[in-house]
Amino acid sequence: MMTLKNIAARALLVSAGAIFYSNSAWALLPIQHWTETNGAQVYLVESPVIPMVDVQIDFDAGTRRDPAGQAGLAQSVAAMASKGVKAAGNEPALDENGLGEAWADLGASFEASADNDALHYTLRSLTDPPLLDKASRLAARQIGEPSWPADVWPRDRARWIATLKEANTRPATVAGYAFAAAVYGSHPYGARTTQDTLMRIGVEDMQAFHGQHIAACRAKVSIVGAVSRAQAQSLVATLLSRLPAATGCAPLPPVGEIAPLAAPVEENIPFASAQAHVLIGQPGFQRRDPDFLALLVGNHILGGGGFVSRLTHEVREKRGLSYSVYSYFAAGLHAGAFTVGLQTRPDQAAQAVQVSRDVIARFVAEGPTEDELRAAKDNLIGGFALRIDSNKKLLANVANIAWNELPLDYLDQWARKVEALTVADVRAAMARKLQPERMVTVVVGGKQP
């Protein structure tokens, strides 16, 4: 009789071989969507080539839900999921070492994390029935019945505080904190986790946060792998089975939007460092914004395309002011920041800032050239397959569709919609979102003006 370890090892060998023959046209696989009777929303892509399944369960329990003065609470809840589970029925309690050994025995993995918008639970397992059953039941215990060991949290909190103190000695960290505070103001996106906020968090706070936000009716479940709809429904039922039953979910209180900048902000922060760290930007846009693809293409040309971007050409190649310069939009449920970042010699910081500002302003006013737009389209469309060339990457795209309520055919239409963009589309979208005359500029380590 084969043990679970034997099954896992054998199936992994099959998977390793199958991956070389996997379907590269995953974007054409349909996304099935339905709502379970418990309220959970499920998004499934059946990818039968590899006997494996990847699952992501998202809850509206990201750091934007941290109470005032307790920044770090959502991340603490996520971290404690791996520290132990309660005893239940014939199942003994497991501490963090026991959990680690259990997952190793199954050849599966489970993780929890929190970002600005969501708390995520992710499971990866082979689909062999005995393995998947045990993996999903163990994951369900970590999602619904963490043990919240009171002796572990003070230890982990002390480690976290030590990490924060060390990070605060770096100019990049100082610049990031100052930039976020100036761009986001009082919005939770700009909240900073500190020793003081962590010391205000106790195990009882985590339990209350978990109880308020983690419920089956609030779950968005994305699944990619070799499972049918019926199997996916059984899997979801198991994963959410340890959460308390509820007849309905009252809406969570709304989180306010990020206020646009009324005026430019400049901060020059002295710091003993060989390089000055520069960040320039402003609030950007929500991920659901209809301008998203035009802004993606526009930013690729401006500063997101590496060595072929305008910022690189003007700041690095023409003037030698920085080895690397970049720009990006961090779109979320709220208007995540547009950011331009670079490092330069302190005596060149003022010039690098001015050149970067000029490039941004000119691009917003004029938009890209036809040649720039063609090159960006070719690069983005040509590289699209790399965004979905594994179950894990495809899962991230499906979860993005689920979380932001994008059309189910979003991946199928992506290349066509990018190809259809014109210079006027990109110019208008960038002009709608960016205000070069009202941006935040933070310089850490540069000379005072």
pLDDT tens readout for residues 231-250: 999 999 999 999 987 656 88
pLDDT at 448 over 80: no
Please give the average per-residue pLDDT across 75-82, as a whole number. 98
pLDDT at position 203, please?
98
- SS3 state at 440: strand
| Count of beta carbons in the 10 Å neighbourhood of residue 368 | 23
Q: Tens of pLDDT along 104-142? A: 999 999 999 999 999 999 999 999 999 999 999 999 999
CA dist 443 → 175, 190, 316, 318, 345 (Å): 7, 18, 18, 22, 11
Render the burial of 329-338: b for 16+ CB within 10 Å, e for the rest. bebbbbbbbb
pTM, entire model: 0.92
Domain ranges of the chain: 14-239, 265-444
Question: Which pLDDT does position 249 carry in this prediction?
Answer: 86
On the question of pLDDT at 449 being above 60, the answer is: no
Q: What percent of the chain has pLDDT over 70?
A: 92
The Cα 279–Cα 178 span in angstroms is: 9
Of the CA atoms within 13 Å of residue 391, those in its CB half-sphere come to: 29
Domain 14-239 matches domain 265-444 at the CATH topology level: yes
Strand-pair category, 41-46 with 220-225: parallel
Tens of pLDDT, residue by residue over 252-298, are 999 999 999 999 999 999 999 999 999 999 999 999 999 999 999 99
Residue whose tokens read 């970590």: 142
| Residue with tokens 């009789």, as numbered in its chain | 1
Q: Percentage of the chain surpassing pLDDT 90?
A: 90
Tokens of 265: 């902000």
**pLDDT surpassing 80 at residue 72:** yes
Give tens-digit pLDDT for 82-113: 999 999 989 999 999 999 999 999 999 999 99
For residue range 209-230, what is the model confidence (pLDDT) as tens digits? 999 999 999 999 999 999 999 9
2 pLDDT above the threshold of 50: no
Q: What is the CA radius of gyration of the chain?
A: 24
Output the CATH code of domain 265-444. 3.30.830.10
Phi, psi of 113 (to 5 degrees): -155, 160
Question: Looking at the DSSP assignment, which residues form a beta bridge with residue 35?
Answer: 41
Phi and psi at 254, nearest 5°, equal: -65, 150
pLDDT of residue 151: 96
pLDDT, tens digit, 9 for 90 and up, residues 330-353: 999 999 999 999 999 999 999 999
| Per-residue model confidence (pLDDT) at position 28 | 60
Per-residue confidence band for 21, with pLDDT thresholds at 50, 70 and 90: very low
- Name the superfamily (CATH) of residues 14-239: Metalloenzyme, LuxS/M16 peptidase-like (3.30.830.10)
